A and B are shown apart, each in its own frame.
Chain A
C-alpha cells in the first residue's frame, strides 16, 4: 500500500469546514500529484452522496464511483490529516485516505488499511502522526 503513496501526497495539517470541502481537498491533492483528472473529484462527491466512505477509527476513504475509472491516470493514494476534525455525517474524521484506482486494486489497498486500523493503537498513531515518514511506516503495517 505504501508504494502507492508518494511523500508529496501526504498533507498533515489540513482544515475543512465540511465533509464535502474535505473531499474536494482530497481530490485536489490527487489531481496535483497527477493521479486523476479533475472530473474524478465530482465522482468522489457523488460516491459519498450514495454511500458514506467512513470506515471507523476517525478515518474516511473518499474515492470515485465505478463509472469514474477513466478519470484515473494512475493508481495512487493521498493521506490528508485534519487535526481539528471534520464532521462526517456525525462522525469525527481526522484522517482521509483518498484512493485513485482504475481496476479493483483499491480492494487490496482497503484490506491492508482496514487491517492496520483494526489495531486501535495503530489507528491512534495514524490520527496523531506528525510526519510523512510516520504515516508511511504505519501504512506499511510496521509496529512502532
Chain B
C-alpha cells in the first residue's frame, strides 16, 4: 500500500489555512487517503476535524497512506503539499 512519511512544512502547523488547503486537496483525490502521526490513529485526510485532531505542528512527522488505483499519485500530491509552507501567503 503506498505510504509516505513527511514533515509538516507550514509555519503554523497543520491547522487553519494549511489544514483547509490540505483537506480540500484530499477531497479531490479519487481514493481515500489517511493521515496519522506517530502517536495517533489514522484519520481520513478529507476530514477537517480528523486532521485538526492530530495537532501536527511544523516539523511533526506525519504518514499518508492510500489504497487502490492512483493511490501512489494521491499520496504524492498530498505529501508534497504538506512539505510546503502553506502559511507563506498568510494574511
A residues in contact (CB < 8 Å) with B:
46-47, 49-53, 55-57, 63, 65-67, 104, 106-108, 110-115, 117-118
Contact with A along B1-37 (1 / 0, CB 8 A): 0000000000111111100100000000000000000
Chain A min CB distance to B66 (Å): 21
B16 and chain A: residue at smallest CB distance: A51
Q: Tell me whether chain B's interface is mostly helix, strand or loop, or mixed.
A: loop
Count of A-B contacts judged by CB separation below 8 Å: 59
Complex contact B49–A56 (CB within 8 A): yes
A to B CB contacts below 8 Å, 13 in the list: A47-B91, A50-B17, A51-B20, A55-B48, A56-B48, A66-B90, A104-B57, A107-B12, A107-B56, A108-B55, A111-B55, A114-B52, A118-B50
Q: Is A114 in contact with B49, judged by CB distance below 8 angstroms?
A: yes
Q: Which B residues fall within an 8 A CB radius of A?
A: 11-17, 20, 48-58, 87, 90-91
User: B13 is contacted by which of A52, A63, A107 (Cβ under 8 Å)?
Assistant: A107
Interface centre among B50, B57, B91 (most CB of A within 10 A): B91
A111, B91: Cβ atoms under 8 Å?
A: no
Interface centre among A53, A67, A114 (most CB of B within 10 A): A114
A111 contact from B16, B17, B52, B58, Cβ within 8 A: B52
Expressed in whole angstroms, the minimum distance between the Cβ of B40 and any Cβ of chain A is 9
- B residues near A67, Cβ cutoff 8 Å: 90
Residues of B within 8 A of A117 (CB): 49
